[in-house]
Structure 1
Amino acid sequence: MDQIEIIRAVSNVMDALGVAVVSLGMLWGLFLFAKDLYTQNSSEAYKAFRIQIVRSLILGLEVLVAGDVIRTVAISPTLMSVGVLGAIVLIRCFLSWSLTLEIDGRWPWQPPPKNE
């Protein structure tokens, strides 16, 4: 097995790990939602469910970006592939920021409210 095949296998593992993080996070969120419906009102259970889903999506996106970076930099570092990687990273960063806004109610670069 040569070096390129090893790097490709590592990037494939990173992609699979990213999908697993999102999938398991969703399943865990559903489990906690079902559990919280018995102990809390449905509004609080839903808010906790949304936060769990968003957290798993953010973490999964980060792992998927890492897999893309490994694949692009190590296997095919052409100008076109780096440009495509840049576009993918920009889109995923925007998604992560949007999801953070969904959780915190503020952009990541804004200071937290005084009452926190």
Structure 2
Amino acid sequence: MILDLNGLIPIEAIRSYYIDLITFGIDILAASVIIISVIMALISFLKILKNPIKDQTMDKESIRLRLARGILLALDFEIGSDIIKTMRIPGIKELLILGVIVTIRIVLSWSLSKEIDRHNKMT
């Protein structure tokens, strides 16, 4: 009995499928974190509108920082997703693109972290 290898699915296709599936899940998770953070920030903002203006200023800053933390978490998920995506096609061009994307996201994460630290030192 001869085994027909032409009908089999190549291991590369299986690996690519699962990598795409995993990165899609991570992207959905990152989007969910952003959506939940925005909704929570909006609800918190609407709740503080009845407070005096002086109290609103501090509350607004806290809301903004919670939103920044959510965005920071989502950025971390996206960096991980990009790294995993590069495993699918690890060519020089893809590595350079990954490097640029990761650099941009790290700069964004760093600036958000600095803003959060600055606020924590003020309070």
Given the two structures, how large is their TM-score scaled by the length of structure 1? Answer: 0.82
* Greater percentage in helix: 2
Tell me which residue corresponds to 1:103: 116
Tell me which residue corresponds to 2:41: 29
Q: Which has the larger radius of gyration?
A: 2
Which consecutive unaligned segments of at least 5 residues does structure 2 have? 1-12
Tell me which residue corresponds to 1:6: 18
Tell me which residue corresponds to 1:84: 97
Residue-pair matches, total: 109
**Does the aligned pair in 2 maintain the 1:21–1:59 contact within 8 Å?**
yes
Which consecutive unaligned segments of at least 5 residues does structure 1 have? 107-111
**Deviation for aligned residue 1:103:** 1.4
Given the two structures, how large is their TM-score scaled by the length of structure 2? Answer: 0.78
Percentage identity across paired residues of the two chains: 28
Tell me how far apart the structure 2 counterparts of residues 22 and 5 of structure 1 sit (CA, whole Å): 26
Compute the RMSD of aligned alpha carbons.
2.3
